[in-house]
Structure 1
Amino acid sequence: MRTLELEVPAPADLAIEVIGVPEGAPVELDLRLESVLEGVLVTASAHAPLVGECVRCLGEVTDTVDVSFSELYAYPGAIEKHPDDEEAEFIAEMTGDAVDLEQSLRDAVVLALPFQPYCRPDCAGLCAQCGKNLNEDPHDHDLIDIRWASLKESLEAGDDDGDEAPASPPA
């Protein structure tokens, strides 16, 4: 058994549409390598920074991701692959004395990413009428339902004539 602590640059496309690990960002890996009959069992944990976009207000989101994964890297020819075996294509093999952790790391990190990241849990988002960020400028628009617009106009016209109008339109 052997343990290693490494810091490697993040590969490209370690992300989903709205959040991910920036390419080249430092990814901290704690590895445990164990020799087994078929090959090398790698048990790892990874820590990496995240940068993305809030799905409510489109502001920047920064966070970190911590994942763990385990993968068997078989010695070449140690595991017999049958053509009918659908899982055979997913068996990772060693290349000489090396193992390629990129795909295992990618699978673990991408599955751990939040599908809808928020800049903060109570993010108010963007105003549907004007597009302003409601976190910075909470406001309301005085919108009149088009079905009541004529009534409002007639009530306002009645105020100009000196007529007394009801306090609010009927519901």
Structure 2
Amino acid sequence: MTTTAPDPAAPLVFDTAVLGRTSGTTMHVAREIAAPEAYGLEVYAVQRSSVIDLDLHLTAVSEGVLADAEVEAVAEGECARCLAPVQDTLKVHVQELYAYEGSVTDATTDADEIMRLDGDLLDLEPAVRDALVLAMPVTPLCRPDCPGLCADCGVPWDDLPEDHGHEIVDPRWAGLEKLRLADTDGESK
């Protein structure tokens, strides 16, 4: 498996060299960053370049660096029932251990079981992305009791009068309805 080294200039990549390797050493980072890419789906996502608030504590432990973060971002999209715009603030907690290269954890776990430091660089972006996407509702709604759209005309029920309805003609009688309408047109002439 080939992995690309993290870009030290990326907004969610942190240099842990200042922590050293003494267990218990901590570093606090609080910042607002622009989302490096859209997180989610086209219909509902944290949009690229939207603000992500990050409150991060990095702690050196014997096996690596423990990242503990509170993340907040705004997700936007469409209501699954009426297609109205939806905007929600997502708040997630991210906690990941990033193992030192050559540590016991490195030898006792598979490559995909634990995050790894790349030298002294810690790439928090995959953990933040995963946490935000998992916090998104499966069916985003403008409100829990959204009635959706009228199945016949496609207009949101909220925009229609209370007595809105459509006359449904049984297709077996449609031929007679055409005769009735033709007869009505003949009388009015």
For the aligned pair, the TM-score class normalised by the smaller chain equals 0.7 to 0.9
Q: Which of the numbers 123, 128, 132 marks the counterpart of 1:109?
A: 132
Report whether the alignment pairs 1:126 with 2:149: yes
Per-residue deviation at 1:137? 1.7
CA positional deviation for 1:88:
2.8
The one-character-per-residue Cα deviations of 1:1-34 (angstroms, maximum 9, x if unpaired) are 2222111111213113421101010100111111
Give per-residue Cα distances to partners, 1:40-79, cap 9 Å, x unaligned: 0001110001101111111111111000010001111113
Matched pairs, number: 152
Establish whether residue 142 from structure 1 lines up as the match of residue 164 from structure 2: no
Is this contact kept in 2: 1:18–1:117, CA < 8 A?
A: no
Structure 1 segments of 4+ aligned residues over 3 angstroms from their partners: 144-147
Q: Aligned partners of 1:115 and 1:107: how far apart in 2?
A: 14
Structure 1 distance, partners of 2:82, 2:131, is 27
Correspondence for 1:73: 98
**Residue of structure 2 aligned with 1:13, choices 38, 44, 48:** 38
From the superposition, tell whether residues 80 and 118 of structure 1 become closer, same or farther in structure 2 (CA, over 3 Å): closer
Identity %: 43
Amino acid at match of 1:19: Y
1:96 Cα offset (Å)? 2.9
Give the secondary-structure state (helix, strand or coil) at the position aligned to 1:80: helix
* Contact 1:81 1:88 (8 Å CA) reproduced: no
User: What root-mean-square deviation, in Å, do the aligned CA atoms of Structure 1 and Structure 2 show?
Assistant: 2.3
Unaligned runs of 5+ in 1: 161-171
State TM-score, norm by structure 2: 0.72
Relative distance call for 1:80 and 1:97 in structure 2 (3 A) is closer
2:79 is the alignment partner of 1:30: no
Match of residue 168 from structure 1:
none
